[in-house]
Structure 1
Amino acid sequence: MHINAPSPPSKSSPYARYVLALLLGVNLLNYIDRQVLYAVFPLIQHDFSLSDTALGLLGSGFMVTYMVSAPLFGWLGDRWSRTRLAAAGLGIWSVATAAAGLAPTYPALLTARTTVGVGEASFGTVSPGLLAEFFDRERRGRILSYFYLAIPVGSALGYLLGGVIGQQWGWHAAFMMVGLPGLLLVLPVWLMREPPRSADAALEQNDNPDNGGYRALFRNRSFIANTLAMAAMTFALGGLAQWIPTFLYREHGLSVSTGNTLFGGLTVVTGICGTLTGGWLGDRLQRRTPKGYLLVSGWGFLLGTPAAAYAILTPSLNHCLGGMFLAEFFLFLNTGPLNTVIVNVTRPAVRAMAFAVNIFFIHALGDAISPTILGRLSDIWGLRTALLSTPVAILVAALFAFVCCHSIEGDMAKAE
């Protein structure tokens, strides 16, 4: 089923900027609702007397649902209204986040968090490709960097709000207060105009299903290498995001509120600076070479690896925070560039599917498993040793980014 929507305004028009602002706002709530769980980990663990493994399962349960739902929404996104899917997803995850605040038991909390994954999968698969169609190709790196500012800013707000609200009124209140505001944006997203699908995209889907389906993506070497780079990065960032606040609480003696405030502050500053710098550098370098986005990401991973290892190993709190600052800055360089690579190497007819496949694999191999793996390693060897697996994963991400450089030019030409 194809949606015959009216033609949207010209690219980069005031309405296009409104769409960017609206989707950025929704994405902010996305990451606030996702990260607030990690801010209140110690409080949940105390109330339910959980092991680190059971605690990690709360994060992994969300990610498993998120990645399993993504392929379905990717298929729907290339055939149905992307704005409707995004609005429905926002409503589902907002209600589920608020419901987590009412959970009286660990199984009830786990159920609520896994439901959040369904809503976020609907939004996450369709929104990047939808947004990219409102802007010219030459600006996509910067535009998607703006959109993905929600990762550091939303994550930081999740830590800050979760830490402060949780410390003052308990973790139940934290979930309730960050979940309900999303319902206010459901209607604006539902009413948002959608770019019509191009004639070429329709022909690909109707006349040549093989070219317009998932099978084509697995023959795209750049898409595969880029996805594996993002999966290794997601393994590392997922583990760090979930466990660093607890690491600061245990290893450096900080309170829940102070640890989350410090980590949230670092994340928002480095995230904004790193994400915007990565988008700007990527667009500039991409004008000189088709490998531009990948070179920015690969070198960011390489520089972030030793910084992350030092932050984990040093016994000094100040040195830990300094190393974390550098590690996060270099890691956030990749956010806009690697997502722009997905857009540039896939045809419009399969773009929502491409993000769906990407979401599935980066989480299946990344943060769907890393929180529980790190939790298990922490139960055996301690949290500091467990966290050392993350710099290794970042190094693997750099390797795949550089491997992708070998096929990117040809795959971009095919997508055009």
Structure 2
Amino acid sequence: MSPAAGAAYALSILTLINLINYLDRYIVASALPKIQTDLGINNMQSGLLASVFIVVFMLASPIGGYLGDRVPRKFLVAGGVLVWSLATGASGLAGTFVTLMLARSIVGVGEAGYGAVAPSVISDLYPREQRTRVLSYFYVAIPVGAAAGYGLGDFLSNTYSWHAAFFAGGVPGLILGTLACFMPEPQRGAMDGPDAQVKLPFRVGLQGLAGNKAFWATTAGYTLMTFSIGGLANFMPLYMVRERGMLENAGTVFGGVTAVAGLLGTVAGGWLGDRMDRKREGGGLWLSGIGLLLAAPFMYIAVHLQSPMATFIVIGLAQFFLFINSGPINAAIVNCVPPAFRAFAMGLNVLFIHMLGDAISPPLIGYVADKSSLGAAIQFNVVPVLLGGAALLMGAKWLREAALRQR
């Protein structure tokens, strides 16, 4: 297999795995009305179903990243995918809230072996000038996978049961985990020049990361965005059913809106991000910050509209600007740290964006919803989006300053 064909194969497998990753996450959100009825749980407990997975995932991700800088990454990816796929199938066997929580926590262990490693593999397969665009292809799987999860969970939970949705969600990962074993294993830093291929002691890398202002500002902005998206994605279908009077198709419609807006936003972000990065260092990250600032007013307007169709259109516009971030923000993370430390840096980023992001937002937003309304809880998400946009703009400034100092 030629290097170009090997890179294309690895990118395809990793992207499909990412798609199944997000399909698995959003099956829960779409099936929530049926799960609540069957298990007798409230909105806060429903939020905990998302949080327990995220908590385990975020705690295990730095370990996965540490291993990803030291062992063959394709086997770490394959093992993680197989573990989470088996746990997804096991979620369908749950008969109580506690057993479903346990199954979802094991899913988090499996995903930690993949989430922190995949971007570092891609960055070693493609040169820096293509990295934002290629990573945007990888992250297109987020909206498409989320839409598939909403649609699959909606259809199977309404046609059969929510148990069937989890059974179906676990099968593709078993196939893709096997195919991941045949990916190429690129040398770390292969696309960043001979100096980048030098091994970096863990303590030295950690010290450098501690003073990396661009990395921490990007992580802060990413965390605030993740907080907002976590709450919005988990409760928007339920909001449209409970407060807007839609019946059985809210998850499917929301999934379709997410797929279209996310696909367009991610592709646009990859193309524009590469152009902005060629014009100036940190240009793609600056684009990410502007995207968050533009998304905030649409999120606020959405819950004040009377028509469900108008609400979905405005939510789609908000998602378009949110998903512009996918390629540029992750390219900024891998570009601002040494190649030998990328997997750990990604793992640490995963820890923070989830620990202070979507690990806590579903139960917090569920709590606000229980005390007031789902509409008020969703509207609250505007604040972290605005703050996240400001943090990314600062990160772009520091990324540019660091690049100028190195010249």
The interval holding the TM-score normalised by the smaller chain is: over 0.9
Amino acid across the alignment from 1:327: A
Aligned to 1:304: 295
The structure 2 residue matched to 1:141, chosen from 132, 142, 167, is 132
- Report the CA distance between 1:413 and its aligned residue: 6.1
Aligned to 1:381: 372
SS in 2 for 1:329: helix
State yes or no: 1:191 paired with 2:182.
yes
Measure, in 1, the Cα distance between the counterparts of 2:19 and 2:290.
Answer: 27
Q: Is the 8 Å Cα contact of residues 120 and 334 (structure 2) preserved in structure 1?
A: yes
State yes or no: 1:177 paired with 2:164.
no
Measure, in 1, the Cα distance between the counterparts of 2:285 and 2:182.
Answer: 36
Measure, in 2, the Cα distance between the counterparts of 1:202 and 1:113.
Answer: 38
Measure, in 2, the Cα distance between the counterparts of 1:413 and 1:202.
Answer: 22
Amino acid across the alignment from 2:225: M
- Report the CA distance between 1:317 and its aligned residue: 1.1
State yes or no: 1:251 paired with 2:240.
no
- Report the CA distance between 1:17 and its aligned residue: 1.2
**Bigger mean CA offset, 76-85 vs 290-299:** 290-299
The structure 1 residue matched to 2:233, chosen from 230, 241, 247, is 241
Measure, in 1, the Cα distance between the counterparts of 2:406 and 2:8.
Answer: 26
- Report the CA distance between 1:314 and its aligned residue: 1.9
Q: Which structure 1 segments of 5+ residues have no match?
A: 1-7
- Report the CA distance between 1:64 and its aligned residue: 0.4
Aligned to 1:341: 332
Aligned to 1:3: none
Measure, in 2, the Cα distance between the counterparts of 1:53 and 1:355.
Answer: 30
State yes or no: 1:211 paired with 2:204.
yes
The structure 1 residue matched to 2:224, chosen from 228, 232, 248, is 232
SS in 2 for 1:18: helix
**Per-residue displacement from partner, 1:316-368 (whole Å, max 9, x unpaired)?**
21221121011011111011000000111011110001100100000011000
User: How many residues are treated as equivalent by the alignment?
Assistant: 403
Q: Is the 8 Å Cα contact of residues 58 and 350 (structure 2) preserved in structure 1?
A: yes
Q: Is the 8 Å Cα contact of residues 346 and 415 (structure 1) preserved in structure 2?
A: no
State yes or no: 1:114 paired with 2:110.
no
Write the mapping of 1:13-412 to structure 2, written as runs, cut at 5 A.
13-197=4-188, 200=195, 203-205=198-200, 208-212=201-205, 214-256=206-248, 258-412=249-403
Amino acid across the alignment from 1:285: M
- Report the CA distance between 1:313 and its aligned residue: 2.3
The two structures have a TM-score, normalised by structure 1, of: 0.94
Amino acid across the alignment from 1:394: V
- Report the CA distance between 1:220 and its aligned residue: 0.4
Q: Is the 8 Å Cα contact of residues 221 and 391 (structure 2) preserved in structure 1?
A: yes
Measure, in 1, the Cα distance between the counterparts of 2:212 and 2:404.
Answer: 12
Q: Is the 8 Å Cα contact of residues 247 and 383 (structure 1) preserved in structure 2?
A: yes
Q: Is the 8 Å Cα contact of residues 344 and 415 (structure 1) preserved in structure 2?
A: no
Aligned to 1:5: none
**Per-residue displacement from partner, 1:117-148 (whole Å, max 9, x unpaired)?**
11111100000110121111100011000000
The two structures have a TM-score, normalised by structure 2, of: 0.96
Measure, in 1, the Cα distance between the counterparts of 2:221 and 2:318.
Answer: 17
RMSD, matched Cα:
1.6
Amino acid across the alignment from 1:93: W
Distance 1:186 1:413, change over 3 A: farther
Distance 1:218 1:9, change over 3 A: farther
Amino acid across the alignment from 1:55: S
Q: Is the 8 Å Cα contact of residues 65 and 117 (structure 1) preserved in structure 2?
A: yes
SS in 2 for 1:346: coil
Q: Is the 8 Å Cα contact of residues 345 and 414 (structure 1) preserved in structure 2?
A: no
